[in-house]
Chain A
């Protein structure tokens, strides 16, 4: 029965990992860009939430109302002001520029907030849970995170496949030159995609801040979790990313159960195994 509980906890945290991954997946799908600063932007969002809560006294969840639009605006500016100039045939510029950005954000946060661990207190909701039989307790917060992950991914899928904006994304990602011939401004389309990605990052960051303690150097670990979820789930498939996140979460939970020091290692090992036997992931989307 303990194992069932472990499994459930793993599934729920998988939702958070899927949130980390969704923004990464979206950007890669639209412009083949992998933002190495992705994890650090999640941490940045967490710090923005911290400042918001400390400054205005709103509840952590409510801070999303401010953090999401702020990060979205940042994403638009980042794409138009920086990343748009790195896109092209060479893989070096976007990689190295986003790596540089990652280091800058980490150290900038370090200078502003010191290396102290922080955490947002969401109050009673954090510790409340309900029992669904046996010894399986479902925490309200973890459930909320999981449901949000599903909702966000569902919304992204909807945007991608059922809206004009999504059509613009797919068009530009298919063939940027011909997309321009349709009157689409690639610079703007890419920037909107990044804004959307950072909106998701903002949600993930607020949840991160509530769930666990974080500090300026927490970014790379989140990037790695998101990346592993994407690779396990399969490139180009957002629902696959959710599955990947769940698998990662469950692996870590089982690993932690065996030995607390094994938590992260278990997740990495499962990732490496999937990489070895199914390099394209478990549910890859067939590329045209």
Chain B
């Protein structure tokens, strides 16, 4: 009689192939400064920051059920921390990025304590109010440029790297690194027990509570961590732009609308969704003529249609149809048979 055993495994053939392809892609992207032109490099950098922002928003809304339309609060906060730390505390500009993240997480603690008093759609608007408060407060700080904003002093810009080219390459690599780190963080979070807890909470709060999962704690932790990461990306964004103003730092359109549409169209609640969504967004943006607000309207319309007809987005549709998973999070039981 042959022995029957079982094995819990995660990776599938598809995900293994995808993993290999991804590794090759990452190496190619890391080498981009040598094969891509200056404006292409900027574009890729922008793509990486949007990918990171979308993945983080997805973690918050798609996986934890916290729909925030106020993440721009932390993007702007991170940007302003870059300026404040570099200009007033003499912190090396590159170091301000992780510091901004830390400060962003710290600020998110009292903010979170407040907005967590609201639920659902009211929570969403509450996060928007907080972002507005941040915008108004920073507009009052004249040493950071007040309402019209400030440019990063030349001395600080020079302190980033020895020359403009090296500086741009450095910023590019940081952007790539951050995007990969965010993806890794999201993947890690979701594949551990805590991640299962998140999915359980999203699917049924009552049931998961009865299993002893501390919902409030888990959600709060995710909120604070996401805020910190978002602030880091904010610092990077404005390190790239070299100029900040309250309206640009806390823009709903730039840091929330596009991010939400990207995630919805790509596929909420899946790790692959934001990746697909970001790529699609940039491909369309670069191939279409510069339509500005019309592009935003079209995106909004597509997002609405996706939400109504195919709520799991582009990736969700593909994954369900073909049963594939590039980031293997689900565990599979494989029955093995010894012969």
Contact = CB atoms under 8 A, between A and B. Distances in A.
Contacts of A75: none
Interface string A253-274: 0000000010011001101100
B114 A104 contact: no
Contacts of B137: 265
Interface in B128-159: 128-129, 132-133, 136-137, 139-140
Contacts of A111: 293-294, 297
B133 A97 contact: no
Given A97-B304, A264-B132, A227 B297 contact: no
B13 interface: no
Interface in B72-90: none
A161 interface: no
A154 interface: no
B315 to A, nearest CB: 16
Task: Among B61, B294, B307, find the residue whose CB has the most chain A CB atoms closer than 10 A.
Answer: B307
B61 A34 contact: no
Interface residues of B, number: 40
Contacts of A279: 117-118
Given A103-B297, A268-B129, A95 B121 contact: yes
B136 A264 contact: yes
Interface stretch (A85-93, A123-131, A134-142, A173-181): A85-93
Given A36-B124, A96-B264, A97-B304, A268 B311 contact: no
B307 A93 contact: yes
Contacts of A264: 132, 136
Given A34-B121, A103-B296, A261-B136, 15 more contacts: A33-B121, A94-B121, A95-B67, A95-B124, A99-B260, A100-B300, A103-B253, A104-B300, A107-B300, A227-B122, A231-B118, A231-B122, A268-B133, A272-B114, A276-B117
Interface of A: 33-34, 36, 82, 85-86, 91-97, 99-101, 103-104, 107-108, 110-111, 220, 223-224, 227-228, 231, 261, 264-265, 268-269, 271-272, 275-276, 279
